[in-house]
Amino acid sequence: MSAQIPLDNILAIEHLLSDDEKLARDTLRDWIRERYRPLLNEAHRNGTFPVEIIPEIAELGVFGANIEGYDCAGMNNVSYGLVMQELERGDSGLRSLVSVQGALVMYPIFAFGSEEQRQKYLPKLARGELIGCFGLTEPMAGSDPGSMRTTGRKDGDAYVLDGVKAWITSSPIADVAVVWAKCVDEDNKIRGFLVERDFGGVSTPDIEGKFSLRASPTGEIHLNECRVPLDNILEGSGGLKSPLSCLTQARYGIGWGVIGAATDCYQTVLDYGLERIQFDQPIASFQLYQNNLAEMATKIINMSLLALHYGRLKDSGSLSPIQVSMLKRYNVGSARKIASDARAMLGGIGITDAYSVMRHMMNLESVYTYEGTHEIHTLAIGRALTGISAFD
């Protein structure tokens, strides 16, 4: 029997990472294994998120980790990506909560808010004293957010918001929402608003019956004559490009995060194949099993190298939205295939939560769809390659 070579040794990127980047990754990996994993099966079965660990998550410095100042960790974008990877090695729902908090709530406040808004909200969001959510998607406006029906109209010292947002991560537990609405007083220009839970006319019902992201709070945002003070408009926002720039930040983190889910699936079936004996030999000795492992390992290495390369581009300020679409599309599609193959390789036990694979497989169905569906990213890349839009 030949010596077994760990996947990390074949990937061989340790020399490309700084000490700070490796420390960020390893700290999260240890915390996921020792603290989060023991809570996960019960949370997944019950369809709940263990909110009691939010202060611990905040102490790890992962909320808004790649933002400078305002009590944020100020990590570079490769460290941030490695953090997303380790969070999703645990569960996509955990990565989603952290990703939304940073990329979809803290980032728009940082990018489009006033200094007063930054000082008021960002430190509390970084410390986990406030939880945020992002209200863009609507029941009738998913891949076409420009068709949103939520409106804002100026009325004295406030804007009055009306509308419904759907499929909103963290809305049931959120203290503040970044809500996007068409301002009827500005020719339906899309603006961002900071909507606090205690404003009148706000409710956030749960979405029930989910088979995916079960250990993640998902709901809606209902706005009925909700009066939002003028001080809570994101003055720097304007047009659809503002929320789309936030989604670009989130998609970058997703591209890293799914590497963790894929790696966990791979490691699970590798260990299982070496331990499971059939026909008097480990099933890892069978050609078809080894073929699947080789395909998985190759995909994970490609995913990791793409993420690292684009992470360096992001840190240099040269990463484009189309490159982020490529990262999200390729890595999520690859992770989805890995999880599906891993489920089959576990046989019957693979449909239970005795192993993490089925949970990852279900979660990745959501990740495949949100922050721009796989198909929408395909068309965005096609438009970039040909100069012809398939949307029109």
- Selection from 82, 85, 80 nearest residue 67 by Cα: 80
371 among known catalytic residues: yes
Residue among 372, 371, 347, 352 nearest 362 (CA): 352
CA-closest candidate to residue 102, choices 213, 234, 325, 253: 253
User: Which DSSP state fits 206?
Assistant: B
Cβ partners under 8 Å of residue 382, min gap 6: 388, 390
Q: Scanning the structure block, which residue is given the tokens 């957010």?
A: 145
**DSSP sequence for 136-171:** --BTTBSS-GGG---EEEEETTEEEEEEEEEEEETG
Catalytic residue among 86, 88, 220, 371: 371
Which H/E stretch holds residue 281? Answer: strand 281-282
- What is the Cα–Cα distance from 63 to 253, expressed in whole angstroms? 12
Residue type, 21: E
Strand, helix or coil for residue 61: coil
User: Is the separation of the CB atoms in 345 and 273 below 8 Å?
Assistant: yes
Q: How many CB atoms lie within 10 A of CB 287?
A: 7
Backbone angles phi, psi at 298, to 5 degrees: -65, -40
> Would you state the structure tokens that stand for residue 263, as one six-digit string?
């790696």
Residues 6 or more apart whose Cβ sits within 8 Å of residue 23:
none
- Residues tagged active-site: 371
